[in-house]
Chain A
């Protein structure tokens, strides 16, 4: 089964450049503004959209993404509304892949089977669930594959060669390499080490490898993208959004542009990598 993710990476491979993957939190700072933002992302240069599912206890996230999740929850966001958001996005865009990223509990409570049906029909292409390692594949990974959704796994600096095959076994769409040991928004990634790690993963898989955690600037995005099939930026976009809010945490006239302008600058960085690599 070919998903929008597979199609998008095949196109990018043909074009000879890396993917720019953007992360924003669904419903941040409110559902209506959030829909405007994700609708504007592809035009600003996003090749793949990762949409965070808000959760009260995001154990692998730093303060910025924790706060984004809490803003969304405060604005009434739920998993059901996240699926509606994607439905809204798909009215105008049937090609940009959408990957939901978050934690398992809201999906478990929604009901795995019902969630997979609803997610597929809403136009979601893949899932990244931080707290579901391969040891728990029965929970969601295998049912998601059957339902035609990519289950994108995180590989980390602690995933050694012995463990990699287990991590890659049921992974599809792409592999998300977490460039640091740590939480989102932490220290910047070292591009040489990232290059070696991506090469190591590529010895085990034909899937595209995207790199995230620690990428904040167009320069870092460029250097990471020259070593990988894609660069993921989350915290920097979430921070730009937050800085555009008023004192009560509500959206202002600048909010959508704050995200799209940084997206455009970062996308330039990623596209620059193609030349650097050639």
Chain B
């Protein structure tokens, strides 16, 4: 493919929602008018200073932003290379970066007069964030979650229910995140008049990939300012894990035009790239699913294949369309980490820094363990610690006890 380097990596998408060949609006006609309404509402909200002022208030006093940029001294010493900073998104209210986007979408839903909110969730972090803001603003909340994920992420299921949400276990297909998204779309197509679909990642039909990216870009914008304050310059590299890719896009996007900054996305390699995994870029190719064209895991007939990751939040056979474009154009390097590598990183960070990461960002930490030792001591590396590991403690505990037997 002939790829022409753009003047800016931050100008996309075009008016039809395309990032290069990726993105678009591949949805049923029933949903098209809703998506056009959402685009209009978002364009108006962006131009309304009152919207930003109100959101900033909640980001500060309800979410607890800005999240710290923390120098991980012992991890840095242990790895013996780059100076590693953690962007502490796990300290946000609800325990992950997901709340940044949900707050934005719930405020849009309120502007649009929608009283019923639906969401899909994998690890449950997006579901918990959605349930939380629905509780805060008195909105009905229905969360679709694959039955397999309901099993392995029980703490989050209980949290969502305590917050007043209805959690619907999805029994169709592979009973994980992609099926939860199918079911949420089926709900939306049925309840078009009163329902707002709060998508949790930078995927889905236009304008979702853009608006989720914009709401998450606070991560990168803060990082830029904080690094300037601490070190007086830009970081040299960024690392983040990728399922759909919202925490990664939020960190990366403000830095895309800073050509000195190396950027690494880390997909979930599951049991390994030659076996069951969830690395769409490493093991997939462009296709169309869930409203957008993007890299997908599929067979020769175009049927979507099962993804696997130890982390429910990365267990998705696709990736946000803008990531697919950034891969093709060569701006971001996409790597992958296996279940075992993520587990090792999970333990290392817990023991060295006293921070139990979620299994999702443990994949990013796993690649930091490879990348940092190869960099010099003045190299500034930022890793997005996108969520905390409380939800994973029972699962990881079982695995580690099973292994030590």
The residue in chain A whose Cβ has the minimal distance to the Cβ of B301 is A78
Q: For the complex, is A56 an interface residue (Cβ under 8 Å from B)?
A: yes
Give bound CA distance, A156 to B303, whole Å: 27
The residue in chain B whose Cβ has the minimal distance to the Cβ of A166 is B32
Interface contact A135-B32, CB-CB below 8 Å = yes
Interface contact A155-B29, CB-CB below 8 Å = yes
Residues on B with C-beta less than 8 A from A103 are: 288
Knowing A56-B304, A59-B185, say if A156 contacts B27 (CB, 8 Å).
Answer: no
Select B288's contact among A80, A108, A135, A182, beta carbons within 8 Å. Answer: A108
Residues on B with C-beta less than 8 A from A59 are: 28, 182, 185-186, 189, 290
Interface contact B189-A60, CB-CB below 8 Å = yes
Residue interface bits B290-310, CB-to-A below 8 A is 1, else 0 = 110100101011111000000
Residue interface bits A134-166, CB-to-B below 8 A is 1, else 0 = 011000000000000000011111111001000
Give bound CA distance, A202 to B33, whole Å: 20
Q: For the complex, is A130 an interface residue (Cβ under 8 Å from B)?
A: yes
Residues on A with C-beta less than 8 A from B185 are: 59-60
Give bound CA distance, A58 to B34, whole Å: 20
Interface contact B182-A133, CB-CB below 8 Å = no
Q: For the complex, is B26 an interface residue (Cβ under 8 Å from A)?
A: yes
Interface contact A79-B301, CB-CB below 8 Å = yes
Residues on A with C-beta less than 8 A from B289 are: 57, 105
Q: For the complex, is A183 an interface residue (Cβ under 8 Å from B)?
A: yes
Residues on B with C-beta less than 8 A from A136 are: 24-26
The residue in chain B whose Cβ has the minimal distance to the Cβ of A54 is B303
Q: For the complex, is A181 an interface residue (Cβ under 8 Å from B)?
A: yes
Residues on B with C-beta less than 8 A from A58 are: 182
Select B30's contact among A63, A104, A110, A158, beta carbons within 8 Å. Answer: A158
Interface contact B303-A106, CB-CB below 8 Å = yes
Q: For the complex, is A264 an interface residue (Cβ under 8 Å from B)?
A: no
The residue in chain A whose Cβ has the minimal distance to the Cβ of B190 is A182
Residues 103 to 129 of chain A near chain B (Cβ within 8 Å)? 103-110
Inter-chain residue pair count (beta carbon < 8 A)? 116
Interface contact A105-B30, CB-CB below 8 Å = no
Q: For the complex, is B16 an interface residue (Cβ under 8 Å from A)?
A: yes
Give bound CA distance, A78 to B301, whole Å: 6
Residue interface bits A52-89, CB-to-B below 8 A is 1, else 0 = 00111111101100100000010000111000000000
Give bound CA distance, A60 to B16, whole Å: 22
Interface contact B30-A178, CB-CB below 8 Å = yes
Give bound CA distance, A228 to B28, whole Å: 22
CB distance from B304 to the nearest CB of A (A): 5
Residues 12 to 49 of chain B near chain A (Cβ within 8 Å)? 16, 24-34
CB distance from A27 to the nearest CB of B (A): 12
Knowing A105-B287, A106-B302, A163-B33, say if A183 contacts B27 (CB, 8 Å).
Answer: no
Q: For the complex, is A196 an interface residue (Cβ under 8 Å from B)?
A: no
Q: For the complex, is B57 an interface residue (Cβ under 8 Å from A)?
A: no
Q: For the complex, is B172 an interface residue (Cβ under 8 Å from A)?
A: yes
Residue interface bits B266-296, CB-to-A below 8 A is 1, else 0 = 0000000000000000000001111101001
Knowing A131-B26, A158-B30, say if A105 contacts B302 (CB, 8 Å).
Answer: yes
Interface contact B301-A135, CB-CB below 8 Å = no
Give bound CA distance, A216 to B347, whole Å: 57
Knowing A59-B28, A181-B192, say if A135 contacts B302 (CB, 8 Å).
Answer: no
What's the tally of chain A residues with a CB closer than 8 Å to chain B? Answer: 43
Interface contact B28-A130, CB-CB below 8 Å = yes
Interface contact A159-B189, CB-CB below 8 Å = no
The residue in chain B whose Cβ has the minimal distance to the Cβ of A176 is B29
CB distance from B90 to the nearest CB of A (A): 31
Knowing A59-B186, A160-B33, A181-B190, say if A104 contacts B172 (CB, 8 Å).
Answer: no
Interface contact B302-A108, CB-CB below 8 Å = yes
Q: For the complex, is A186 an interface residue (Cβ under 8 Å from B)?
A: yes
Interface contact B303-A55, CB-CB below 8 Å = yes
Q: For the complex, is B394 an interface residue (Cβ under 8 Å from A)?
A: no
CB distance from B317 to the nearest CB of A (A): 9
Q: For the complex, is A207 an interface residue (Cβ under 8 Å from B)?
A: no
Q: For the complex, is B64 an interface residue (Cβ under 8 Å from A)?
A: no
Interface contact B27-A131, CB-CB below 8 Å = yes
Interface contact B192-A159, CB-CB below 8 Å = no
Residues on A with C-beta less than 8 A from B323 are: none
Give bound CA distance, A108 to B28, whole Å: 17
Give bound CA distance, A105 to B191, whole Å: 25
Interface contact A105-B288, CB-CB below 8 Å = yes
Q: For the complex, is A132 an interface residue (Cβ under 8 Å from B)?
A: yes
Residues on B with C-beta less than 8 A from A44 are: none
Residues on B with C-beta less than 8 A from A55 are: 302-303
Residues on B with C-beta less than 8 A from A107 are: 302
Q: For the complex, is A240 an interface residue (Cβ under 8 Å from B)?
A: no
Interface contact B26-A183, CB-CB below 8 Å = no
7 contacts between A and B (CB under 8 A): A60-B189, A105-B289, A105-B296, A106-B301, A130-B28, A153-B29, A156-B30
Q: What 3 A-B pairs are tightest by C-beta distance, nearest first? A: A109-B302, A106-B302, A182-B190
Other than the given A105-B289, A155-B29, A156-B30, 8 more pairs (CB < 8 A) read: A103-B288, A105-B304, A109-B300, A133-B27, A133-B29, A157-B30, A178-B30, A181-B192
